Structures are given as structure tokens and as C-alpha cells.
Amino acid sequence: MNTRQTLCVRDQRAVTLLRAFFGDDAGELFESHGCSLARVVQAARESSEPRMWLLGQAHAIAEAAAAEQAMQRDVLSSPEAVTRFLHLHFAGQPHASFVLLYLDAANRLIEAEELFRGTLCQTSVYPREVVKRVLHHNAAAVICSHCHPSGVCEPSRTDEYLTTALQQALQLVDVRLLDHIVIAGGTHASFALRGFCDAFPRRARASVLALCSSARRRVGQ
């Protein structure tokens, strides 16, 4: 029985997509990375092999396009643009890391920056360094995000403590923390939707709930 016959429909689609880059080697490559498209992409981002490098560049283009969309609109009115960018950024990442999205007064993305990177399970986040970078970018508001490489999306108690600490630190410089988003595989959890981000205006929170009702110092899990 060949590789294509042993794969489920979703995996067959992944192999079909990879075939554009790897031809007949796509199925074997997919299986060698645990039948995970995200792991293939992560490996491609770090590889110099010509075909893998090309896939990595394609992923980088998709990530840049998602960031461009977030720059062109109010992120509160289009939360799907933010989560799409974050899923692309963290795709297949084997380690925990913390990303900050700097926003202008109109809630449009100025820049996204990875501030901290850790181990398989956790990374340390320092509110003082967050504030320094926020002031450097002259941001009016921020959205922070980190990934759970374990694939468990549920925020931990430590994640909640971190969110509170960041809120308090940012309030001292009159910057709003609009959301803290946890990414785990293809799922995500929003602290704003759970009511943790008090700096998130009540009206804007209601808007996000309507548009994204299905969404779900040491962080990580």
C-alpha cells in the first residue's frame, strides 16, 4: 500500500500541497516529520536545502502578507487578521517564545517583534523590557502572544499572572494591553475574550466577541 493510500484526507491534502515543492518525495518527507505540515514548515525555515529553502520563503511571504493585512486595518474590527498572522508566525515552532504586536492610536499594526525565546516548555518574560520596547516603537497599544509547543491551548495560572503584570506595567506609561493570545497548534485562546484584559474597552470587547466567538515572569505549557 503506497503512502497516499495510508493517509487520511487531511494528510493527503498536505502531501498534495508539498508535492508542488518536493514532487514524488512529498509523501516520504511528510511522514518523516510526523505527518505534520507545521513541522515541515518549521524545518524549511531553518534549512538551506534548495527545495526546503523555497518552501521556507513561501511561508515567509504568507507571514508578511498576514502582517500587511493587520497594518491596513483596525485589529479590533478584524481579529482574524491577528490570529492568522500569529498562527503563521508560530507554525511548527518547537520552543516557547513571546511576541509583541505594537499598535498605533488607530489600532493598526506598527510592527511585530519576538522579544523572548525559551525552551520546549517555557520562556521568561520581563515586563520592564516589554515597556522599553513599547516606548521605542511609540506604540499606543499592544497585543502580546506566546505559544504552547505542547499543543495544550488552555492558559496556565502563570500566564494569568503575567497578563496582570504586563497590564500594570503598561498602564504606567499609558499604553493599553488589548489582548494576550495563546497559540497552540491550530487553536488559540484570547485573554480579552475571557475578560482578563481590563484595558480592552468594553465596546471593543463586545465587537471581538461578535466577530470571533469561537476563539479559544514564565509562560508556556
Domain ranges of the chain: 7-46, 72-211
Supply the pLDDT for residue 3.
Answer: 44
Domain 72-211 of CATH type 3.40.140.10: yes
Axis crossing angle, helix 50-71 with helix 37-45, rounded to the nearest 10: 100
Q: pLDDT at position 136, please? A: 94
Helix H segments across 145-221?
157-171, 202-211
C-alpha to C-alpha distance for 75 and 103, rounded to whole angstroms? 9
**Alpha-carbon distance 50 to 143, whole Å?**
35
Q: What is the pLDDT of residue 101?
A: 92
Q: Which three cell numbers stand for residue 104?
A: 498605533
Q: How far is CA 17 from CA 25, 47, 50, 84, in A?
A: 12, 19, 17, 19
Q: What is the spatial distance between Cα 119 and Cα 45, in angstroms, rounded to a whole number?
A: 18
Cα–Cα distance for residue pair 149/100, rounded to 1 Å: 18
The single residue listed with the C-alpha cell 480579552 is: 192
Residue spans of the chain under pLDDT 50: 1-5, 120-122, 198-221
